[in-house]
């Protein structure tokens, strides 16, 4: 599984580790992903999503169905 949020589309970013002597080495910043089950009331079933904590807040704010439709429109998920 890739490290991509299925709701917001967040993916790993690339940056630098900077040491005390200011030497730089490449590193990756990973999104805070959690595997979580959500209950889809309209269909009466559970779905399992790999979602960032920001995605969880978005689901709490606009609702699961609306968040899934938005993610599908943006191409982050194919079906749910």
Model pTM greater than 0.85? yes
Q: Which residues, 6 or more positions from 35, have their beta carbon under 8 angstroms from its beta carbon?
A: 48, 49, 50
| CATH homologous superfamily for the domain 13-73 | Ribosomal protein L28/L24 (2.30.170.40)
pLDDT in tens, 27-80: 999 999 999 999 999 999 999 999 999 999 999 999 999 999 999 999 999 998
Question: Rounded to an integer, what distance in angstroms lies between the CA atom of residue 36 and that of residue 33?
Answer: 9
Assign 13 a pLDDT band (cuts: 50, 70, 90). Answer: very high
Domain ranges, ordered by start, for the chain: 13-73
pLDDT in tens, 43-52: 999 999 999 9
User: Residue for token digits 């439709």?
Assistant: 69
Q: At what angle do helices 53-62 and 64-74 cross, to 10 degrees?
A: 120
């Amino acid at each position: 599984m890739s490290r991509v949020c299925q709701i917001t589309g967040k993916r790993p970013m690339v940056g630098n580790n900077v040491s005390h002597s200011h030497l730089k080495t490449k590193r990756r910043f990973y999104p805070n992903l959690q595997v979580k089950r959500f209950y889809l009331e309209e269909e009466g079933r559970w779905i399992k999503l790999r979602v960032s904590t920001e995605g969880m807040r978005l689901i709490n704010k606009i609702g699961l169905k609306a968040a899934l439709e938005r993610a599908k429109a943006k191409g982050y998920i194919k079906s749910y």
